[in-house]
Amino acid sequence: MRIDIITVLPELLESPFNASILKRAVEKGLVEVQVHNLRDYTDNRYKQVDDYQFGGGAGMVLMIEPIDKCISRLKGERSYDEIIYMTPDGATLNQKMANQLSMSGNLIILCGHYKGVDQRVRDSLITREISIGDYVLSGGELGAAVLCDAIIRLLPGVLNDETSALTDTFQDNLLAPPVYTRPREYKGLKVPEILLGGDLPNIEKWREEQALSRTRKLRPDLLE
Ligand code: ADE
């Protein structure tokens, strides 16, 4: 898989891909992530990529020309399954969307900034708009990092058996069961007896029951 991220703040996207699971996925060649600085796609001598909005109003708007130039260059090199715009107006990211997007070959993610992007970008260049939740961020970069993390960890070979995505919360619409590690007892707080005996079929049954009761209690909407 290849993910191209277009942004005016490339430095915000350095660390997410430079640690832990995402770093390993990149190093193993399971995903290629390229971050493009939108300012490299303007002929403007001040590298300006935003402007005031027509009709008046506060806030700068990202211009269509550099975005079109960047996307056109990328599309000239390979085809893309989706051209995603990160925006609070978009469909809220969930596990089902992450699962679906993880089966893509190539993705472009455009990060908005300031007051957003010229509507013509959204009308003519974007195939999908995604939000990471009902709150407004200063830009799409952190949302893009969240989206990439949710997608990349699902790629075959990224997680090993121990960290398998199959047992994640939200797979099967259930929250994950509780987990414990050593010590067996801490300040009187004990690990459930069932987990200590090595009776694997009964442990599995207990985990399923816990997942179900936890979901009923914390996120009944998932069971509807
Ligand atoms: N940009 C600003 N707010 C956002 C959000 N909630 N999700 C995705 N991109 C955003």
* pLDDT reported for residue 162: 57
Percent of the chain at pLDDT > 70 equals 99
Amino acid at the residue 184: R
Give strand ranges (E) for the chain: 2-7, 32-37, 50-52, 60-62, 82-92, 106-111, 128-131, 185-186, 189-190
Residue-level pLDDT at 167? 74
Q: Is the pLDDT of residue 9 over 90?
A: yes
Question: What domains can be seen in the chain, in order of their start residue?
Answer: 2-152 (3.40.1280.10), 167-223 (1.10.1270.20)
Residue 161 has what pLDDT?
A: 67
Tokens of 141: 């970069």
Ligand 1: which of 62, 137, 142, 147 to mutate, most ligand atoms within 8 Å of CB? 137
Residue 212, number of CB atoms within 10 A of its CB: 14
Cα(73)–Cα(187) distance, rounded to whole angstroms? 61
What is the spatial distance between Cα 206 and Cα 31, in angstroms, rounded to a whole number? 36
pLDDT computed for residue 163 by the predictor: 61
Per-residue pLDDT for 30 more than 90?
A: yes
Cis bond leading into 183, ω under 30°?
yes
For 105, which DSSP code? S
Averaged pLDDT, 148-175: 85
What does the pLDDT look like over 195-213, one tens digit per residue?
A: 999 999 999 999 999 999 9
pLDDT reported for residue 169:
79
CA distances, 57 to each of 3, 115, 200 (Å): 34, 10, 63
User: What pairs with residue 142 in β-bridges?
Assistant: none
Nearest CA to ligand 1 atom 4: 88
| 38 phi/psi in degrees, rounded to 5 | -55, -30
Mean pLDDT of 129-155: 97
Contact 5, 34 (CB under 8 A): yes
Q: Tell which atom from ligand 1 comes closest to the C-alpha of 132.
A: 7
SS3 readout for 40-104? HHCCCCCCCCEEECCCCCCCEEECHHHHHHHHHHHHHHCCCCEEEEEEEEEEECCHHHHHHHCCC
What is the CA(195)–ligand 1 centre distance, in A?
A: 41
Average pLDDT over the chain, rounded to an integer: 95
The whole-number average pLDDT for the span 69-89 is 98
Residue 190 has pLDDT above 70, yes or no: yes
Q: Work out the pLDDT band at 115, boundaries 50, 70, 90.
A: confident
CA of 129 to the centre of ligand 1 (A): 10
